[in-house]
Structure 1
Amino acid sequence: MDALKPIVIIGAGPAGMAAALSLHTVGHQPILLERYREARPAGNILNLWPPPIKALQAMGVDTQDLGAPCHTTFRGVRGNIRADVQIPEDVVAGYGGGFIGLLRPELYRRMLAAMPQGVLRTSQDVTSLEDYGDGVLVTLSGGTQIDAAAVVGADGIDSMVRSHLWGASERREHRLHIIGGYTFADVPGAERNEVVLSHDREVQGTYSSIRDNGRSGFQWWVLEAWDPARPEPADLQAHALSLAKRFPGPLAGLVAATEAGHLQRWPIRDRKPLKSWSRGRITLAGDAAHATSPYAAYGAGMSIGDGYVLAQCLTGVELADTPAVTSALQRYDERRVPHTTAQVQQAYVLGKVFHHAPSALRPLRDWILDHTPMLQKQVGEKSPAEIVAQLQEMGAGLVRAGR
């Protein structure tokens, strides 16, 4: 492999860190550029399914006690179970749970702890890219340039790299917002090691167990239709509490127990999926490629998977060989684009079904969800099957070329 030119990754979120760790694991030289003074999470609450846990383990991240293992059910407003997400027992045993709840800063801490010295460079703002065939010239503010073998744009939903490759695209407003938070309070009735995901006619109210630095607690969120032109609620906690009170059980108690600094709001938006991510020696990963509604509960997980698969596709590739590099990036597209596109679109559709159905149709929708196996088949059985398929498609792991 060409040891003279590094692979430059732009953006030190989960996708960028995963790409850097994975590429280093298989023997390449990554440089991870972050525009801010430190790699820092944009949010707090987080969930991960088994495929990203497998990827993290392969790239050398400590996943021991990373989060709380959880079993997931979708429930109606009366507490009735509409779908039971049935992850196979061997998968649950192998990856510390079918679904784990954690806080995003802890994932960053673990990934940064595994990062080789000198890979991450902060306060580095990329201003332009030039793919000249045998490499990519990366220009930073101030005029410094890096001659890279390849570039990975992991620079978020407003990705400069995506615009460079494929032109400008509009954000797709879901006309939804989410308010979420976490607490370590002992709230009566809260079920440990469970994700309780509930809907009434208009609102989703959810909580799950979390683990963070050895402490057990709960994360929660409420999600509703919201016109993006409207200002956000003046009192987020009071507004979240008014929504949580629509559901039976401990959700309102969890919201009430949350400290002021432990909750946040974000509007839900994405961009329409691309048919291709890669062009020449430049590609995309994470939100730059597939910004996703939280309805997928898989945004960070898919981003981690991107870095893992990218490294697998580039394992053993001679970086001086342009056809070999472009072929490897096309294989990366072939493995990731269909999977992530399906997840993005499913999340978008679920948001429409649960929050934007015409009022007259909502009673019929809820009767179908309560009295037919439709949701069980879609999310209780299909989603676990896709997780198992992803684990199989990921193969044995990351292997350094020549071993």
Structure 2
Amino acid sequence: MRILVIGAGIGGLATARALTADGHETVVLERAPALRTSGAALSLWSNGTAVLEDLGVSTDGLGAPIDLLEQRAWNGRSLSRIDLTHAAAVHGHPQLVVPRRDLIRRLAEGLPEGTVLFGKECTGVTADGDRIRTEFRDGTTLDGDLLVGADGYRSVVRRHLWQEDSPLRASSWATWQGLSRIGIDTATSRRGLMVVGPEGMCGLMPAGGGLLQWWFDVPYSPAEPLPDSPLAALRRRFGHWASPVREVLEAADEADLDFFPHYRRRLPRTWSTGRAVVLGDAAHPMPPTGGAQGGNQTLEDAWALARALRRAPDVPRALADYQRSRSRQAALAVRLAGTEPANRYHPLLSRLTPGALASRAYTRWLRMVSTRLSQAPQPGV
């Protein structure tokens, strides 16, 4: 089949890798003039790294492995720990923190030359029997047997296919994040640190090569203007927190900051119509909390869509099977992320949860939100 993929982000490139390997003629259409390598880092849990292995994407030298997640109170008191090596051993795949640009490049490396076309902004979608046509800002059109919308939470494909779509809603939180070389122990460790307090949350993760992924989650309303100096505002809000938060704020540079409001949207009743389908944030946007599953769920979608097309006798059956295999897991990940659990300050509850129990619960939860991991036999968890 000739398959058109809108968007050359993680979902679009992963989909192209999977479909090209299965012999489909795959064309990725990206509105930007080149690969979008902006953004900080993302967490790839066992389900995400399992999909990368299946796609033939090597994780050697990619990002930094994470063996432990520690939660602390704002004053430095340790609240809880999750041993991530338990999940890695049970599921057979590691946990990594990876700069987004490195993952994008690694996914793109394995595609045939000419697979990705740049400067192609999709403006319209028209179905015609067994073919589907996409229209672009430059006046050109392309026809295919299947259209995949991997164009993010403001998806043009989703908007054209579902005219009465549910609105995109901002939650009450937003993230200021950066990826920098900051000289604290966490940057070169195998440990992630989450610090919570009444003012919000700070997360710190090593991302490989001495880079530190750092972020601050703060209450947010779209009606309020953003501060003229976000870094100064963060220093006022979190500057009294214990080490290493204050060291990160002192070393951070305003130019490193990116702003991401947290958005939610009700999952569509159907992820496809005719010969068009959506995946990733176009299907199920979620805040980067509650396990930070956004990128992992996108990779799972790409894997599941390719598997469904490989197994089903026709496209409509394949698209139905794809949604059936992913909707429950994605909905669970969306629900947990929507509660913004990492941003809730409950120090007593955290201290009362034994580390071994939290580690086993996390391992089981990963399988619950994963189509890929649920396919493999699992030892006792």
Secondary structure of 2:8's aligned partner: coil
Q: Deviations over 1:355-392 (max 9, x none)?
A: 5xxxxxx7xx543343356x986x64433213245343
User: Which residue matches 1:157?
Assistant: 153
Selected match of 2:303 from 308, 317, 323? 308
1:180 is the counterpart of 2:161: no
Distance 2:186 2:282 in 1: 40
Task: Report the alpha carbon displacement of residue 90 of structure 1 after superposing the two structures with TM.
Answer: 7.1
1:329 is the counterpart of 2:319: yes
Task: Report the alpha carbon displacement of residue 326 of structure 1 after superposing the two structures with TM.
Answer: 0.8
- Structure 1 gap ranges (5+): 319-323, 356-361, 397-403
User: Which residue matches 1:76?
Assistant: 73
Selected match of 2:338 from 336, 342, 348? 348
Distance 1:22 1:202 in 2: 43
Residues 216 and 372 of structure 1: CA distance in aligned 2, closer, same or farther (over 3 Å): closer
1:196 is the counterpart of 2:193: yes
Distance 1:164 1:67 in 2: 37
1:226 is the counterpart of 2:220: yes
User: Which residue matches 1:399?
Assistant: none
Task: Report the alpha carbon displacement of residue 245 of structure 1 after superposing the two structures with TM.
Answer: 2.7
1:119 is the counterpart of 2:105: no
1:382 is the counterpart of 2:377: no
Cα pair 2:86 2:360 within 8 Å, conserved = no
Selected match of 2:24 from 19, 28, 32? 28
* Larger deviation, residues 282-291 vs 47-56: 47-56
Secondary structure of 2:124's aligned partner: strand
1:12 is the counterpart of 2:2: no
- Same amino acid, percent of matched pairs: 26
User: Which residue matches 1:216?
Assistant: 210
Selected match of 2:349 from 354, 364, 368? 368
- State the number of aligned residues: 372
TM-score by length of 2: 0.88
Q: Deviations over 1:278-297 (max 9, x none)?
A: 12211101111111101131
Cα pair 2:147 2:277 within 8 Å, conserved = yes
Distance 1:141 1:219 in 2: 36
Secondary structure of 2:211's aligned partner: strand
Selected match of 1:289 from 283, 289, 295? 283
Distance 1:232 1:310 in 2: 39
User: Which residue matches 2:52?
Assistant: 56
Runs of 4+ aligned residues of structure 1 deviating over 4 Å after TM superposition are 92-96, 188-191
1:242 is the counterpart of 2:236: yes
* Larger deviation, residues 298-307 vs 161-170: 161-170
Task: Report the alpha carbon displacement of residue 258 of structure 1 after superposing the two structures with TM.
Answer: 2.6
Selected match of 1:393 from 355, 374, 379? 374
User: Which residue matches 1:359?
Assistant: none
Question: Which one-letter code corresponds to 1:387 in the other structure?
Answer: L
Distance 2:153 2:211 in 1: 30
- Structure 2 gap ranges (5+): none
Cα pair 2:186 2:206 within 8 Å, conserved = no
Cα pair 1:177 1:224 within 8 Å, conserved = yes
Distance 1:138 1:106 in 2: 30
Distance 1:85 1:31 in 2: 41
Secondary structure of 2:324's aligned partner: helix
1:148 is the counterpart of 2:129: no
Question: Which one-letter code corresponds to 1:368 in the other structure?
Answer: L
User: Which residue matches 1:45?
Assistant: 41
Secondary structure of 2:289's aligned partner: helix
